[in-house]
Amino acid sequence: MVQIKKIKEIFSDEGIGSLLRRTLRKLALSILTYIYYLQLFFKKNILDLSPKFSIQQIINKDSLSNTEDFTPKLVLDNFIDHRFDLLGSGWIKVGYGMQCRGLNGYRYKSKVNPTIDQKGLWLDQILRKTHRRFSKDIWKLIDQDYIPIDWQIDFKSGYRWSEKTWFRNITHGEIKGTDIKVPWELARMQHLPLLAKNFVNKETSSKQKKILFNEFKNQILDFIATNPLGYGVNWSCSMDIAIRASNCLLAYDIFVSGGAKFDSDFIKHFTKSIFEHGLHISKNLEWNFGQRGNHFLSNLTGLIFISTYLGKSKITDKWLSFSIQQLIQEIDHQFNSDGTNFEGSTAYHRLSTELVVYSSFLILGLKKERLENLPRAHIGWPNKIMTISKSFMGLNHLKIKVGSKVTWTPFRETEIHKIKKMIEFLRNIAKPDGCFPQIGDNDNGRLFKLEPRFQIYKNSEVVHKFKNLENYSYYDSSDIYPLDDICNIKGFLGADAFIPNASSKMPISNFDHSFELNILNALLSENTNLLKFFLKPESKLGQSTKKYELPQAKFNKISSTDLTSWEYIHHSDLTQNLSIFCSQDFGLYIFKSDLLFLSLRGWSGKEIHGGHNHLDQLSIELYIEGKDIIQDPGTYNYTALKDQRWLYRSAGSHFSPFSDDLVTEKIKMDTFSSIAMTPLDKIYFDKHNFKAAFNYNGKCCYYEIKLSNNKILINSSKLDDKELGFSNDVRVALGYGMILN
């Protein structure tokens, strides 16, 4: 029924031509998928013919021992005990037969609760017969006292997918309260680099190092044993597969740099699994026939990590060449000229920037000999990587203004400077507390979480603060709840180490002790001189944009019945050390001072791609003296609760003059619908004013912000009889799944 409904919608909206093209694409992809399936089933595929790989070491031995680790001990203990706090779940022990709290009254009970044994006989209860022998061999390599993780369960609702299901047959979004992102998020393995980080820290005891080392090995082998290639929830999204492979490889490299010695059996199975990740990604690219975004960017990053760490071979060179050339195209395609991302979301800008930075640094760290011998590759029809015979990748001879070193790279100067702008945008939009304003969707997405910021609460405090932790059961006698501050970007790409002082010099001491910066330095290999070039701030707040000076008289002529206003008066001067920043491409205008942070969403018509934007035109966030006065509602969920999904995207949940009156039910019920906003035609912005004109329903309308010493005044034309401000009663989500009481 769902498919018939979809066919009718495509036919109605796009016509018979589009329906036929989509049908042919689906058919072609299905044929390729089942060829892949048959290859795996009969074991006559490239896995058996692949060269003997060995994982390369990129991070130098003992190079990370002097870096700082501020991860709370309780967080590491939780990871070792298989307790995870993801997407608003609360710290919860994830295992077979677990009982979950449920989501908004939707609660499911898993029937899978095998009795664990060392021989692996319990695997007969969860795996297909063809997978059991291999998985049992893997299981025998795991420590006897290890308790396995249930990688298939949504540990918020309790719903469980099956590791017997072919990945193309995995479905989601149809059963209320279930969220496929939960098992995906856990299987990204972003906690493993934190275990490795603690392992290399010079303050960590030998006993603790042994525990960390064994836990890393056991979790990797556990995943390999219970997630056969191509089966189960964790092979259904190439983006998450790419992020998992990148985290596993980086964690492994960190462990090795700290002196960890892995046995040959582990190395063999780990290396084979990493190759399988690359193979699966390459055959299931999320190109979406040109309609691509952050998912495709993640695919490229994963292939770059895998092909770099596995070293040179015919197939890894093909993956690497393809990914480099596509990455260069995506930097141009997915990022505006000022470095901002094209999806209309500050959180997705952070994710996409991280993907580009890490993959670019790996490429910049490659030897010239490997780069110049790479064959040209492109994406063929449908979604197939094709190489061009007797054609090799071109290299550019760039001299970056850091020292005198010359760098050979496939990047041009335009890409290099755009990457720098991506990083600077994030730093310019940060509030004094280090958090970014939530414009558009925020699903907590990251590539790595190397420098997480934890706020420490008492259990009773955090339960009182967050609605999603209702009925949360305390598990720790210390009464401490470490909460990851999802929107905080102080630690992002070493931002703390590069906060400029009065003379704009680099605080080298902070740089030397930053874990993430040392990782980035290692990826650059011999080109470490580039790190400070990319990360040192250059642009300064204080720029003013003047496209059109809107006459003040226009506002004065509006009658009180056509005007809606809002005023805030503070006891102190809000304009001390006032500066401004704007991105016209993204549509974001910011006032910053010692006491004030005021951001305004001012979209001027630049095309937004994908379905991660909100109906947030002319909405504001206001932060004064460490307090959020007005906040964007954030993103509560995607597919688990569809009515809540639209509520958080709606104009009524944003502090703006717009309403939802013109939004159709079809757009509201489509999880990732493209939302049409009213663009601003004319804009004036300086240190004390923002003014804009726009056309709404055939009528010229106006909006302004006036900032004086201790007063903020907002005036707007009244639209659809809506007063300026919120019209929905919605709890703010400080991250995906995390809503305030």
- pLDDT tens-digit profile of 522-567? 999 888 888 888 887 765 554 544 444 555 545 555 566 689 999 9
How would you classify residue 142: left for phi > 0, otherwise alpha for psi between -120 and 50, otherwise beta?
A: beta
Residue 566 is given by DSSP the state E
Residues in the chain: 741
Kindly tell me the burial class for residue 162, based on how many C-beta atoms sit within 10 Å of its own C-beta (0-12, 13-18, 19 or more).
middle
Radius of gyration of the chain (CA): 26
User: By the 8 A CB rule, do 424 and 536 touch?
Assistant: no
3-class DSSP state of 706? strand
Of 332, 326, 280, 277, the closest CA to residue 300 belongs to 326
Please name the helix (run of DSSP H) or strand (run of DSSP E) that holds residue 329, with its range, or none: helix 314-334
pLDDT of residue 407: 74
pLDDT of residue 728: 86
Task: Give alpha helix (H) positions in 153-237.
Answer: 181-186, 192-200, 206-226
Rounded CA-CA distance 348/328 in Å is: 19
> Cα separation of 21 and 31, whole Å?
16
> What span, in angstroms and rounded, lies between the C-alpha atoms of 150 and 227?
10
pLDDT value at residue 63: 86
Instruction: Return the SS3 of 153.
Output: strand
Q: What is the pLDDT of residue 36?
A: 67
- Beta-carbon-side half-sphere exposure of residue 504 (alpha carbons within 13 Å): 6
Listed residue (362, 368, 300, 302) closest to 334, CA to CA = 300
Task: Collect the ranges in the chain with pLDDT lower than 70.
Answer: 1-3, 5-6, 10-11, 29, 32-34, 36-51, 381-383, 389-391, 401-406, 494-512, 538-561
Asked whether the CA dihedral 216, 230, 637, 350 is positive or negative, the reply is positive
What was the pLDDT predicted at 387?
74
Residue 555: predicted pLDDT:
55
CB 569 within 8 A of CB 710: yes
For 353, how many CA atoms within 13 A lie in the half-sphere containing its CB? Answer: 27
Q: Which residues contact 728 (CB under 8 A, 6 or more apart)?
A: 647, 650, 652, 653
374 closest CA partner among 285, 328, 306, 313? 313
